[in-house]
Structure 1
Amino acid sequence: MERGLELHGIGVRFGGLTALDDVSLRVPPDRVVGVIGPNGAGKTTLFNVICGFVSPQTGSLTLDGRPLRPRPHRLSRLGIARTLQGTGLFAGLSVLENVMTGASHTARAGFASALFGLPRSDRDERRLRQHALDVLDDLGIAGHADAAPGTLPFAVRQRVALARALAARPRLLLLDEPAGGLGADDIAELAELVRQLPRRDADPCAVLLVEHHMDLVMAVCDELVVLDFGRVIAAGTPDEIRDDAAVTDAYLGALVEESAP
Structure 2
Amino acid sequence: MADGLALHQVGVRFGGLTALDDVSLEVGPGEVVGVIGPNGAGKTTLFNVVCGFVTAHTGTLTLDGRPLRPRPHRLTRLGIARTLQGTGLFAGLTVLENVMAGATHTARVGLLPALLGLPRSDRDERRLREHARAVLDELGIAGYADAAPGTLPFAVRQRVGLARALAARPRLLLLDEPAGGLGADDVDTLAELIRGLPHRAADPCAVLLVEHHMDLVMAVCDRIVVLDFGRVVAAGAPEAVREDPAVVDAYLGAAVDEAA
Report if aligned partners of 2:198, 2:204 keep a CA contact under 8 Å in 1.
yes
Distance 2:196 2:253 in 1: 28
Q: Which residue of 1 aligns with 2:173?
A: 173
Distance 1:241 1:19 in 2: 22
Report if aligned partners of 2:84, 2:176 keep a CA contact under 8 Å in 1.
yes
1:246 Cα deviation (Å)? 1.8
1:196-244 Cα offsets, whole Å, 9 max, x none, are 1011121100000000000000000000000000000000000010111
Unaligned 5+ segments in structure 1 are none
Q: Which residue of 1 aligns with 2:68?
A: 68
Distance 2:23 2:183 in 1: 33
Report if aligned partners of 2:38, 2:250 keep a CA contact under 8 Å in 1.
no
What's the C-alpha RMSD, in Å, of the aligned pairs?
A: 1.3
Amino acid at match of 1:186: D
Distance 1:142 1:60 in 2: 41
Give runs of aligned pairs for residues 116-127 of structure 1, distance below 5 A: 116-127=116-127
Report if aligned partners of 1:198, 1:204 keep a CA contact under 8 Å in 2.
yes
1:252 Cα deviation (Å)? 6.0
Q: Which residue of 2 aligns with 1:110?
A: 110
Q: Which residue of 1 aligns with 2:148?
A: 148
Distance 2:249 2:101 in 1: 44
Distance 1:218 1:254 in 2: 19
Q: Which residue of 2 aligns with 1:135?
A: 135
TM-score by length of 1: 0.96
Unaligned 5+ segments in structure 2 are none
Distance 1:243 1:22 in 2: 23
Percent identity (aligned): 82
Structure 1 residue 17 corresponds to structure 2 residue 12: no
TM-score by length of 2: 0.96
Distance 2:151 2:2 in 1: 42
Report if aligned partners of 2:37, 2:250 keep a CA contact under 8 Å in 1.
no
Q: Which residue of 2 aligns with 1:164?
A: 164
Structure 1 residue 194 corresponds to structure 2 residue 182: no
Q: Which residue of 1 aligns with 2:82?
A: 82
Distance 1:73 1:44 in 2: 18
1:70-121 Cα offsets, whole Å, 9 max, x none, are 0000000000000001110000000000000000000001111011001100
Q: Which residue of 1 aligns with 2:51?
A: 51
1:26-73 Cα offsets, whole Å, 9 max, x none, are 000110000000000000000000000000110000000000000000
**1:99 partner SS:** helix
State the number of aligned residues. Answer: 256
1:148 Cα deviation (Å)? 0.2
Amino acid at match of 2:118: L
**1:121 partner SS:** helix
Q: Which residue of 2 aligns with 1:217?
A: 217
Change (3 A) 1:146 1:252: farther
Amino acid at match of 1:12: V
Distance 1:176 1:137 in 2: 23
Distance 1:2 1:115 in 2: 42
Distance 2:241 2:247 in 1: 7
Change (3 A) 1:227 1:215: same
Amino acid at match of 1:155: A
1:249 Cα deviation (Å)? 2.1
Report if aligned partners of 1:87, 1:161 keep a CA contact under 8 Å in 2.
yes
**1:247 partner SS:** helix
Structure 1 residue 37 corresponds to structure 2 residue 37: yes
Report if aligned partners of 1:2, 1:29 keep a CA contact under 8 Å in 2.
no
**2:11 partner SS:** strand
1:254 Cα deviation (Å)? 5.8
